[in-house]
Amino acid sequence: MTKRAKKAPQIPETVAAKRSGKPANYPLTDRGPYTPEGAMAAGFAYFNGGDHLCVDVPDESFTVSCRTSEGRRITFAFLPYRENGPPQAVDIQYHDSPVLIEHSDTVLPAQSFIGFGPRRGDVRYSRHSTKPCTLLTVILSDECPNLTDAKAKEQVACA
């Protein structure tokens, strides 16, 4: 007498999403990497000659977490200025810096970055600076929010 394999029970999509750590019904796509031309044809920006992973970022706070083949981790946190609003800034943090900075009751990784401009070369910022950077923020909106609002001050710091 042969035994039949038991059929796996069907798990509702929302339960399966919670178990996988993925929110249900997020506008992320299962699109594989695109060529630069494919990314542009799909309505995304082209940056360089490498393949592009295209993501539709939803409104509200949303973080994309990446890891290289060497285990280096970086996050891109898309943040709104108002609750449930579209992202207006992107916080970028490299988590595996060899230089750590003590701040209050936490330790933060120091960042090194290069900012490119149209004139006079680039701007370099080293993690070994006397004023190390622990987080880089890119402002997406044309103007910074009114920083007299305490909640806005917590969410973004405009220079």
**Predicted confidence (pLDDT) per residue in 99-131, tens digit:** 888 888 888 888 888 777 776 666 767 777 777
The pTM of the whole model exceeds 0.85? no
Q: For the chain, what are the domain ranges? A: 57-155
Mean pLDDT is lowest, of 11-15, 68-72, 115-119, for 11-15
Reduced to 3 states (helix: H, G, I; strand: E, B; else coil), residue 36 is helix
Q: Spell out the residues 6+ positions from residue 66 whose beta carbon is closer than 8 angstroms to its own.
A: 73, 74, 75, 76
pLDDT value, residue 153: 47
Pairing status of strand 122-125 against strand 113-116: antiparallel
| pLDDT at residue 84 greater than cutoff 80 | yes
